[in-house]
Amino acid sequence: MLSVEERAKRIKLVVFDVDGVMTDGGLGLGDDGQEYKFFHSHDGLGMKLLKATGVHMAIVTGRTSQVVVKRAANVGILHFHQGVDDKLASFDEVRAQFGFSREECAFMGDDVIDIPPIRYGGLGITVPHAMPLVKEYAHYITSRPAGHGAVREVCELLMKAQGTFDAQMARFLK
């Protein structure tokens, strides 16, 4: 059985769910019908730093929202699938677009719909408040809660395992 660090060393693509991973899972709905999601700035910078190391990112989410389009653009994620019922199929489609093996891909999710891609990839990740069954299949459970630095924790985990963290931090430590 490979350790989390050994798995993380191989990752070239990380695919994120949105609700309950990038956000705390709450859905704000206004009287105007607009949907509101709250993202943490630490997660956003983490994704930008990870992208700078050459690790690719994508989003696969069950809901459809223009907020996700804006967040993806803000952090430089070019590949995303919304309104997805079969997350494994979308995950595998993104993986195949890049030409990566299953072992080179990670998936981060929090609910039972996320179990197939969590089990399929090389590194399955979830958050502390995930459904209990999801935790049984994840290789790694973040210490930070969803929407409050969990994505940043994963980005840093990957950078540290791949030896790129210090280089990314160097520009801030001059």
Radius of gyration (C-alpha) of the chain in whole angstroms: 15
Return the structure tokens found at 6.
Answer: 């050994």
Tell whether residue 114 is among the known ligand binding residues.
no
SS3 of the chain: helix, strand, coil, percent, to 5: 45, 15, 40
Tell whether residue 43 is among the known ligand binding residues.
no
Distance CA(150)–CA(142), nearest Å, equals 6
Query: Do 137 and 114 form a contact (C-beta atoms < 8 A)?
Result: no
Between CA 112 and CA 36, with CA 33 as vertex, the angle to 5 degrees is 55
Tell whether residue 17 is among the known ligand binding residues.
yes
Q: Under 8 Å CB-to-CB from 46, ≥6 apart: which residues?
A: 151, 152, 153, 154, 155, 156
Task: Please state the residue numbers annotated as binding site for substrate.
Answer: 19
Task: Please state the residue numbers annotated as binding site for Mg(2+).
Answer: 17, 110
Task: Please state the residue numbers annotated as binding site.
Answer: 17, 19, 110
